[in-house]
Amino acid sequence: MNPRDARAADPVAAATRVALVDDHALVREGVREILESQDDMMVVSEAATSGDAIAQVARHRPDVVLLDVELPDGEPTDTVTRMRALSPDSQIIMLSMYDGPQLLRRLINAGIRGYLLKSVCGEELLAAIRSVHRGSDRMVLAVSRDSLAQMQGITENVLSARELEILELVARALSNGQISTRLVISEATVKRHLRNIFAKLGAVSRIDAVNKAIAAALISPPHDQTHHRYRAG
């Protein structure tokens, strides 16, 4: 019997494995009770900090991570990025009291699969978990109408995945030649993408493009300049 058949034959193995991350024990307890009331879900780990959560995700490789957006020791997009690097098959759903469009855009770019306000009911939470675990490419969002409207404004000139990838490397001060080598594309292609980026963002230079993309939450600031605007050399 192959592993997939074995998992299907075992109800416990077939259950969606969920990691809970929230710095409030009472919240974790409430969510755990909701999940464990379901035959097709099980909680495999709990954490109250970003550092502990990242370690738990690396160890347990859960199917779904329910991640509080406000943890005492970590910036949310960095936490998501590190989790996805260590467990790329884990689908991450953010839980938050805040639905600002810029944060939401950064988290979507980082690879989350869902963003739910903590005001959602238990049925909505369960539906979101099942949706992302089924492997669909759909994004599950439960946010305010105002936030969605502002998101549309931010993404009117949205960059393509390749353009975002190139701009992230520009933000890390890589030259066109280094970018072409990293992405295995020609330097002329890099320059063409940059022209498109400048046009979409209304930018006049590489520095201007990076700063505008960071301000619009299209890309995250470089790790060593999280609190500073990008600048040359």
Q: What confidence tens digit (pLDDT) does each residue in 139-194 have?
A: 788 776 666 655 555 444 467 778 888 999 999 999 999 999 999 999 999 999 99
- Asked if pLDDT for residue 56 goes beyond 90, the answer is yes
User: With pLDDT > 90 as the criterion, what percentage of the chain qualifies?
Assistant: 52
pLDDT score at 60: 97
Residue the block writes with tokens 């963002």: 201
Tally Cβ neighbours within 10 Å of residue 9: 10
How far is residue 113's CA from residue 90's CA, in Å, rounded to a whole number?
10
For residues 209-216, average pLDDT: 80
User: 122: which residues sit within 8 A by CB, 6+ positions away?
Assistant: 34
User: Phi and psi for 115 in degrees, rounded to 5?
Assistant: -145, 115
Q: What is the mean pLDDT of the chain?
A: 83
- For residue 4, is pLDDT > 50? no
Residue 150: predicted pLDDT: 59
pLDDT given for residue 98 in this prediction: 79
How far does CA 32 lie from the centroid of its chain?
Answer: 22
220 DSSP assignment: P
- Cα end-to-end span (Å), the chain: 58
DSSP 8-state code for residue 74: B
Strands (E), 41-134: 41-47, 64-68, 91-96, 114-117
* pLDDT tens profile 92-121: 999 998 777 777 878 888 889 999 989 889
Residue 173, CB-side half-sphere exposure with 13 Å CA sphere: 9
Mean pLDDT to the nearest integer, 30-46? 96
pTM above 0.75, yes or no: no
Q: How confident is the model at residue 50 (pLDDT cuts 50, 70, 90)?
A: very high
pLDDT, residue 222, reads 75
Q: Do the beta carbons of residue 219 and residue 213 sit within 8 Å?
A: yes
